[in-house]
Amino acid sequence: MRIAVSGKGGAGKTTLSAALSRCYAVDGMRVLAVDADPDGNLASALDFPQELLDKIIPISGMKRMIEEKTGREKDVSGFFRLNPDVSDLLDRFGVMFNNICFLSMGTIEKGAGGCMCSANVLLKNLMQHLLLDKDKNKDVLIMDMDAGIEHMGRATASCVDAFIVVVEPGQRSVQTAKSVEKLARDIGVKNTFVVCNKIRFPNEYEILASSLHGLKILGSIPYNNYLIEADLMGKGVLDNQKLIEETMRIKEELEKI
């Protein structure tokens, strides 16, 4: 199963990605959780202890390694390899905790006219490799992304089994969901779903559902004060039983697709 999570900033992508990772891990699956949000903090949401957080280096920040892989440093003409070998990166830079392997992609720059700098090429290749790979290291891939999914590319997008857009009560979040869904469709994603988050009253859900016409809602997560508190205290979200139970229901829905 390959799941990508997107949506407006603050809607709850990281919270859902972390909770889904937990749900699959407690089921005995090998989970690879990838932070592909430039403003990422998935590892903390996954409760990684500080000594492991200190070990995480975003792939995009490893300039020397990127140069070696893309051959940029040798080539004064400015050309570089478009298909660098990325097959060793997960083993080298993945960090394991609680049966979840974590990998941080770092920032994918959005240069005007589609920036093709070597770091972006490497990240694109890595994303594609992780999605295409039918490998021994993972059963489930969960990718926490931002709302800009353009860099994903067609080959990569078609490998995503479920593309989840997280929506919180508010028309701005609905708008983001609609644009993300359109982008996803344009690049060839098959299954786009919505998860409504931070729902306080039934009418909030109803308004969202009617505004999101046409988009399939996979489930919803109520507003949860403990999540605000956990974030305030710099704690992860995984010991929140309510959230895990709600996410288990979302996972069951995912299994039906």
Ligand X SMILES: Nc1ncnc2c1ncn2[C@@H]1O[C@H](COP(=O)(O)OP(=O)(O)O)[C@@H](O)[C@H]1O
Give residues in contact with ligand X (CB under 6 A).
Answer: 7, 9-15, 166, 197-198, 221, 223-224, 227-228, 231
Q: Are 158 and 189 in contact (CB under 8 A)?
A: yes
Identity of the residue, 5 or 218, whose beta carbon is nearer to Mg ion in the bound complex: 5
What whole-number distance in Å separates Cα of residue 164 and Cα of residue 176?
12
Q: What single DSSP character describes residue 151?
A: G
221 binding partner (options Mg ion, ligand X, none; Cβ < 5 to 8 Å by kind): ligand X
**Min dist. Cβ of residue 40 to ligand X (A):** 8
Identity of the residue, 41 or 191, whose beta carbon is nearer to ligand X in the bound complex: 41
Residue 54's DSSP bridge partners are none
The CB-nearest residue to Mg ion is: 14
Ramachandran angles phi, psi of 214, nearest 5°: 95, -25
Dihedral sign for Cα 44, 47, 50, 51, please.
Answer: negative
**Min dist. Cβ of residue 118 to ligand X (A):** 28
- Which residues are at the interface with Mg ion (CB under 5 A)? 13-14, 37
Identity of the residue, 14 or 118, whose beta carbon is nearer to Mg ion in the bound complex: 14
Which residue type occupies 87? Answer: S
Identity of the residue, 19 or 254, whose beta carbon is nearer to ligand X in the bound complex: 19
Place of tokens 């059963």: 139
Identity of the residue, 84 or 236, whose beta carbon is nearer to Mg ion in the bound complex: 236
219 binding partner (options ligand X, Mg ion, none; Cβ < 5 to 8 Å by kind): none
Q: Are strands 95-97 and 100-104 parallel, antiparallel or unpaired?
A: antiparallel
115 binding partner (options Mg ion, ligand X, none; Cβ < 5 to 8 Å by kind): none
**Min dist. Cβ of residue 21 to ligand X (A):** 13
- 160: Cβ contacts below 8 Å, ≥ 6 apart: 2, 3, 4, 131, 189, 190, 191
**Min dist. Cβ of residue 71 to ligand X (A):** 35
Q: Are 169 and 9 in contact (CB under 8 A)?
A: no
**Min dist. Cβ of residue 88 to ligand X (A):** 29
